[in-house]
Structure 1
């Protein structure tokens, strides 16, 4: 099998899983597609140098590219409304889905929670993937879960009680 055949087989087998993670990271289907394409493109360029299982390599590209994008967007986006008081549905019977709950978080908070709880990475692995310290991962996780407890109390069983 050639490198090209190996890469094609990897793309066919793992694109769906990568797309799910990308969607949770970005919260947007179109950005998720772009993120996966970018990660696969970069992996294709380095494919002959990747040793062992290529998935961690491709996932790291996915995470770091997402961080790069949100850092760039943070400088150019202007938020409307208050960060401390986002608009939340007033209907108490309305249940937020996980997707809606993640949308209440900052991009950094959402990324850390996806890596920690969806990708099941440790604090150290998450810190390494994002290029931040483990302490930052801990505090971001704590703040994100507290924010979810406040803004989406109906998800209490999912995010745990108040700590």
Structure 2
């Protein structure tokens, strides 16, 4: 049992860190989130390994750890100074990536979790609703609000649809 758990965690650790970083925008905090999630996974390993989709099960655990931490207020009491990413940039425009990370960090936690699950993890509305324990309508509204906040933070012009509705 322990070997199976260790092999799974070893194989998925990088993936979990990337999701956690997308949620909190801090590598040290991401490591803490992952540590908490994999500790909980160890405790529930017998049930977890029987899940239809183990990755989805663990992803839900990680997102719920993040959201629970946000609700507890730990992050509001202990403010860490954000550091530059310790991992190499994977291509593209660095300035845009930094602007996007900064804007994503300003999005409220629930909306941020929705955006990360929908666009970083490429989950459907239904899968995201399951992961967050909410309705599909809530996912849609949180996605729309989160995207609107990102657009406002990034200074993007209104969408063509919004302009067309005004005419």
Normalising TM by the smaller chain, what interval?
Answer: 0.7 to 0.9
For 2:18, the equivalent position in structure 1 comes to: 20
CA contact (8 A) 1:67 1:130 kept: no
TM-score computed with the length of structure 2 as normaliser: 0.74
Q: Structure 1 118/161 Cα, relative in aligned 2: closer, same or farther at 3 Å?
A: farther
1:12 Cα deviation after fit? 1.3
Write out per-residue CA displacement over residues 44-72 of structure 1, whole angstroms, 9 at most, x where no aligned residue: 11222321553222111101111111122
Write out per-residue CA displacement over residues 19-61 of structure 1, whole angstroms, 9 at most, x where no aligned residue: 0000111122222111101111111112223215532221111
TM-score computed with the length of structure 1 as normaliser: 0.76
Question: 1-side partners of 2:57 and 2:45: how far apart?
Answer: 10
Structure 1: 5+ residue stretches without partners: 79-93
Question: 2-side partners of 1:128 and 1:36: how far apart?
Answer: 20
For 1:117, the equivalent position in structure 2 comes to: 119
CA contact (8 A) 2:99 2:154 kept: no
Question: 2-side partners of 1:33 and 1:110: how far apart?
Answer: 18
Question: 1-side partners of 2:135 and 2:116: how far apart?
Answer: 17
1:115 Cα deviation after fit? 0.4
Structure 2: 5+ residue stretches without partners: 78-94, 163-167
Over the aligned positions, Cα root-mean-square deviation in angstroms equals: 2.4
Question: 1-side partners of 2:14 and 2:160: how far apart?
Answer: 33
For 2:54, the equivalent position in structure 1 comes to: 54
For 1:142, the equivalent position in structure 2 comes to: 144
Q: Structure 1 162/20 Cα, relative in aligned 2: closer, same or farther at 3 Å?
A: farther
| Count of equivalent residues | 142
For 1:43, the equivalent position in structure 2 comes to: 41
For 1:64, the equivalent position in structure 2 comes to: 64
Write out per-residue CA displacement over residues 73-108 of structure 1, whole angstroms, 9 at most, x where no aligned residue: 29x848xxxxxxxxxxxxxxx755321121121111
Question: 1-side partners of 2:71 and 2:121: how far apart?
Answer: 21
